[in-house]
Amino acid sequence: MGPRSSSPAAPARRKDTKGVQAFIGSSSLVGDLGTLYVGGWAANLVTLGARVGAFGSALACAVGASRLLFALGRDGLATRRLGVVRERDGVPSTATRAVLAAVALILVALRATSTSAPPMKALN
């Protein structure tokens, strides 16, 4: 017995080349879709939300990493200097500076090695 189906045969899917190129070339796909289906204000709102979310995520990662370095230094698993807090407010400033320096080095390395190749080249 073959597969049971009460609906007529589905039409064959064809590749939408124009749509694929628009997807590949978009720098803000969800923003472009917002503009297309809702309006320009939706794209701006999506872009703003993405930026705020990315900033919040980066900030949380930096705080978490500096607290982890602080705990490692405090427990003697890393240099003891990382386990020192500032007297005034209890912030692990040495660990925070170490994380910020590492992030700065990573950003410089990424910028130095970046190319102008289009993203998602494999979809062509």
Q: What is the pLDDT of residues 43-93, one digit of tens each?
A: 888 888 888 999 999 999 999 999 999 999 999 999 999 999 999 999 999
**For position 14, what pLDDT does the model report?**
66
Please measure the distance between the N-terminal and C-terminal CA atoms of the chain and give it in whole angstroms: 39
**For position 113, what pLDDT does the model report?**
85
Task: Answer yes or no: is pLDDT of 17 > 60.
Answer: yes
Residue type, 84: V
Its pTM stands at 0.63
Stated length of the chain: 124
Find the largest Cα–Cα distance for the chain.
79
**C-beta separation of 28 from 47 below 8 A:** yes
